[in-house]
Amino acid sequence: MAIRVCRIEDLPPGSRKIVPGGRFGIGVFNRDGDLYALANYCPHAGAPVCLGAVTGTTESAASYHATWVNEGRILRCPWHGWEFDLSTGKSVASPTRRVKTYPVHVESGYIVVKD
């Protein structure tokens, strides 16, 4: 079923909103105009993952050299710190573990999530 979240201007870039939907609620994120919707449930231990920081992460080409990448594209779980890619829901460390994602689009000026 379709969940009408809010008007697009009420979720400006960099903001988020958690709405009823699914079993645990759904977090809707606006990242530079791109919209993402994820279940508010961490696959690790069931935390409300959508309350976590939207941040970046690190990658490395050799020991002791870390570079900061993907700023604004990583959702960090507020309990244990697991990192998830905002667009795919996949864990950065263990990509086989993922937060459930939902299709999201704009319809007649409203953000709509397909549950």
Partner 1 sequence: MLSKIETIDAAAHPFPRDQEDIRKYMRAPLSHLRFPGLDGYFYPPPADEYRADLAPADGLPGSDPEMMSHQLLSDGKADAVILLPLTRGLLPDIDMATEVCLGTNKWLAEEWLPHDPQHLFGSIRINPADPDRAIEEIERWAPHPQMVQVAVPLQAHQPYGQRRFRPIWECAAHHGLPIAVHADSLGGNEYWPTSVGYPIYYIEYAAQYPVNYIVHLMSLIAEGVFEDIDNLVFVFADGGIDMLFPLIWRLDSDWRALRSVTPWVKRTPVDYLRDHVRFCSQRLEGPLDAAERPQWLESVDAEHLLMYSSNYPSVSIQDPGAFEDAAPLLRERVLSRNAMELYSKLSTPGSG
Measured from the CB atom, the residue of 6 and 66 that comes closer to partner 1 is 66
Q: Give the pair of three-digit tokens for residue 96.
A: 């086989």
CA distance 113 to 21: 9
**In the complex, what is the shortest distance from the CB of residue 51 to partner 1, in angstroms, rounded to a whole number?**
16
- When binding is defined by CB under 8 A, the residue of 37, 91, 101, 111 that contacts partner 1 is 91
Contact 64, 49 (CB under 8 A): no
Among 93, 105, 106, 114, binds partner 1 (CB under 8 A): 93
Backbone angles phi, psi at 12, to 5 degrees: -70, 165
Residue 101: CB minimum distance to partner 1, A: 19
Name the minimum Å distance from CB 104 to partner 1: 26
Site for partner 1 in 23-82 (CB under 8 A): 44, 57-60, 62-66, 77, 80-82
E strands, the chain, where?
2-7, 16-19, 26-31, 34-39, 53-62, 65-76, 83-85, 101-102, 104-107, 110-114
Binding interface with partner 1 (CB under 8 A)? 44, 57-60, 62-66, 77, 80-83, 91-94
